[in-house]
Amino acid sequence: MCFFVFATLLAVAGYAQSGCGLFSVSKDKQVRFALGNLEYDSINGYSFTAHQYDYGGYFGWGTGGNPTLTSTDRRDYLSFDDWGSHIGSGWRTLTWDEWCYVIWFRADASAKRGAATVCGVHGMVLLPDIWNGGTFNAGFDNGYSTNVYDASSWSDMEAAGAVFLPAAGYRYGSEVYDVDASGGYWQSTPLSEFYAYRMYFGDYGVGRDDDYDRCSGRSVRLVQDI
């Protein structure tokens, strides 16, 4: 059903389809996540990864209009240009409050997040507000072995609306670190002139930073409002 209902949400120019699952980002708003992290290259421009477990690109905060910027000078990241506005079809980046709501404050939030390994890639699974899918173990008690899915079992999870955020690590300057060990995802909310908020996780759990350096290259997972 998901494929037929939302086939029209396939973005032009190869952008990823929205997921089926609905995720509350406030008490009166829901979104659908893109089925892949954002990536960019000079030939094809912006696109989403082919699979949710692909790492995607590493972007400095707010670099929608300048996606290849790798400067470590904080003065180069003074304003937020949403990556979603360069794709169209209503894509956008979650705010600080919205990420917090998905992870910590929606109904049964703690039962809808957990560490996982999907097709050999470490990361975190988020379940939609209503879950009628396969087996899922909440939390991080067993690190990335808490949930293990091969291609077939993950396909079933994805069809039921689950989201997987790969532990892509981060970029600083031109170097990439911590790949497959931790994940960090930008939010659209600034904190101060040089710092912004991010959601992060590792095999130990999930957290949030309120003073993260904007020049760090992090993952981006966009959403569409319902």
Q: Is the model's pLDDT at 14 over the cut of 60? A: no
Which tokens go with 190?
Answer: 């600034």
Distance of alpha carbon 40 from alpha carbon 44, whole angstroms: 7
Backbone angles phi, psi at 33, to 5 degrees: -85, 150
pLDDT of residue 16: 56
| Mean pLDDT, all residues of the chain | 92
Judged against a pLDDT cut of 80, whether residue 10 lies above it is answered with no
Identity of the amino acid at 200? Y
At 19 the pLDDT is 79
52-103 pLDDT, tens digit per residue, is: 999 999 999 999 999 999 999 999 999 999 999 999 889 999 999 999 999 9
Return the C-alpha torsion angle 97, 102, 106, 107, nearest 10: -170
Find out whether 55 and 179 touch, Cβ atoms under 8 Å. Answer: yes
Calculate the dihedral angle through the C-alpha atoms of 104, 204, 49, 75, rounding to the nearest 10 degrees.
80
Percentage of residues of the chain with pLDDT beyond 70: 92
pLDDT at 11 over 50: no
Question: Are 38 and 222 within 8 A, CB to CB?
Answer: yes
Sheet holding 223-225, edge to edge: 23-26, 29-33, 223-225, 91-92
pLDDT of amino acid 17: 66
Other Cβ atoms closer than 10 A to 216: 21
Q: Among residues of the chain, what percentage have pLDDT more than 90?
A: 86
Amino acid at 215: C
Token output for 177: 């670190």
